[in-house]
A and B are shown apart, each in its own frame.
Chain A
Amino acid sequence: MTTLLSKLPKFSYGIARQVRSVMENLFSETPVGRRKKWNERVAIFIFALMTLLIVLPLLLIVGYLFYKANPVLSLDFLLKNPIHGMRAGGIWAPFLGTIYLVFISLVIATPIGVLAAIYLNEYAGDTWFTRIIHLAVVNLAGVPSIVHALFGLGAFVLFARMGRSILAASFTLAIMTLPVIIASTKESLASVPMAFREACWNVGASRWQTIRHIVLPNSISGILTGIILQVSRAAGETAPIMFTGAVFFKAIQEGNPFAYGLFDQCMALSMHLFTISTQVPDVPEALPYGTAIVLLGTVLLVNALAIGLRIYLRSRKKW
């Protein structure tokens, strides 16, 4: 533009001069325009910086863990029990314990949570009763895990006479994850357009047929993602299992994936990490770091699974 403008003679008169001044006003940068541009650059820089700041700690943590845990990392570490008062050996017992707890708690929480969400979103109307239930679900999601632990101790260990066992601990974890599963399932059901349901009802499909053939197939990816993300919470919490089924130390048969029974007590990774880092003296430094890596790895693996599943199911989504 400037080259075009400079071709116009400086001392021209009449129309040429007017055109020149108008164009200069149109295309030259005004002070306001310059400030806007500058502000935008600053804003973009800050956003990018913040994004980097999120990723950085994760990379640092993982890198640091691997560096510290290096001496113990091997397949034996995963498949051998802790020995010498947990000062040596592997983490087989807590590793298997965590898998038991997470798996059983999901088996308990998923059907209850999904069915409750289907009822709330598809069948129940908007009445004071369902509002109270909704409020209760939201509040339950905000209850600290230690309170869940006390509830689990009272309800499952003592009242239901399960004793301190894998079953009682799994029930406690299930209660803890339930509200979030309900909320996320409800959210994914609600994302299916109402017009689809109406179209189904109009051709004489019942509510259940509509849910079964249209609503569920189109919300299943969101529902599964919500459930699987709860795995990381169930695996990471120490408090809810501490009083209800997890123990300080317990040796089990190595290499046997069915070494625990439902009414046994078990070790768990999160609690094992806590004990060997704070309760037991003279533990080699690499052991807790190795434990942390296995915990983190298990959770990341499950999350990766969730992401993969979501991508797969989304690719089959049909609208």
Chain B
Amino acid sequence: MENMIEISDLWVRYGRKEALKGISFDIIRNEIFGIIGPAQSGKSTFLKVINRTIDRIPGIHLSGTVRVDGENIRTVQNVHEFRRKIGMVSPLPVGLPLSIYDNVAFAPRMAGIRKRSELSEIVESCLRQAALWDEVKDRLHTLGTKLSGGQQQRLTIARALSHRPKILCLDEFSIAIDPVTTMRIEEVLKGLRSQITIILVTNIVQQARRMCDRTAFLLNGELVEIARTEVIFSDTPAKRTTYEYVNGIFG
């Protein structure tokens, strides 16, 4: 098995506050990798490190090495090109103030694709992958922001897929949507697993249990445990804290 992401001894400090304290693990190609942990445990910081949007935050300090698809993220030449390898879905759906079509065609256009037929093809396939096509195919040119919350989140997923990423990161994607839509998106993700690597950050532990091949448990910026999901959710994970957290007797 081949590693998609390799992290060794990653430290992240915001000013004096340490967000990640020397974590190391690998993420395997085409697996669904879950990251669980309470608030402030460094989950979102981790995603920002991977696609290097963390660069924009003032007062940030990083050490350690992160390799994405064999490439050290520190020595990436074209950061925009690099970011297209990674699709990001944020906790709250962000529909850009453009039409549904333009929302999905945005990334390919920014990458320089101009041909109308090619764009339409990308838009259709991405919307289909995100299980949104049937609902919006007759109104592709209405505003993306007018869709319902669940539809917007699927639109965000379609946009994240539109630049053909090798990795799809979802940061607590189900926070603002109803359980039925959540299930639909989960089905979508399972369908995608054969093609891309998925990192699923969630604070719903049952979601990780349903979806993930392997799961990591982060707590206060430290990696408590990483194992196959069955092990994490069994009665005997390696660490007592893991058992307490996933069974809700934490505190």
Contact = CB atoms under 8 A, between A and B. Distances in A.
B145 A199 contact: no
Interface stretch (A16-24, A63-71, A205-213, A281-289): A205-213
B214 interface: no
Contacts of A218: 97
Interface string A185-226: 000000000011011111111100100011001100000000
A203 B53 contact: no
A204 B111 contact: yes
Interface residues of B, number: 30
A126 B159 contact: no
Interface string B81-102: 1111011101010111110000
A125 interface: yes
B23 to A, nearest CB: 22
Interface SS of chain A: helix, strand, loop or mixed?
helix
B106 interface: yes
Nearest to B109: A213
Given A205-B106, A205-B107, A319-B145, A200 B53 contact: no
B51 interface: yes
Nearest to A197: B56
Nearest to A205: B110
Interface SS of chain B: helix, strand, loop or mixed?
mixed
A188 to B, nearest CB: 14
Given A204-B84, A204-B111, A199 B94 contact: yes
Interface string B37-69: 000000000000001010010100000000000
Contacts of A206: 80, 110
Contacts of A205: 80, 106-107, 110
B143 interface: yes
B48 to A, nearest CB: 10
Given A196-B96, A318-B98, A203 B163 contact: yes
Nearest to B145: A319
Nearest to B159: A203
A213 B95 CA distance: 14
Nearest to B52: A201
Interface in A104-129: 125-126
Nearest to A318: B97
B106 A213 contact: yes
B27 interface: no
Interface of A: 125-126, 195-196, 198-206, 209, 213-214, 217-218, 317-319
Pairs A-B, 6 closest by C-beta atoms: A318-B97, A203-B107, A202-B88, A204-B84, A204-B83, A205-B110
Interface of B: 51, 53, 56, 58, 80-84, 86-88, 90, 92, 94-98, 106-107, 110-111, 143, 145, 156, 159-160, 162-163
29 contacts: A195-B92, A198-B94, A199-B90, A199-B94, A199-B159, A200-B106, A200-B110, A201-B56, A201-B83, A202-B53, A202-B88, A203-B84, A203-B87, A203-B88, A203-B106, A203-B110, A203-B162, A203-B163, A204-B81, A204-B83, A204-B84, A204-B111, A205-B110, A206-B110, A213-B106, A214-B97, A214-B98, A318-B143, A319-B97
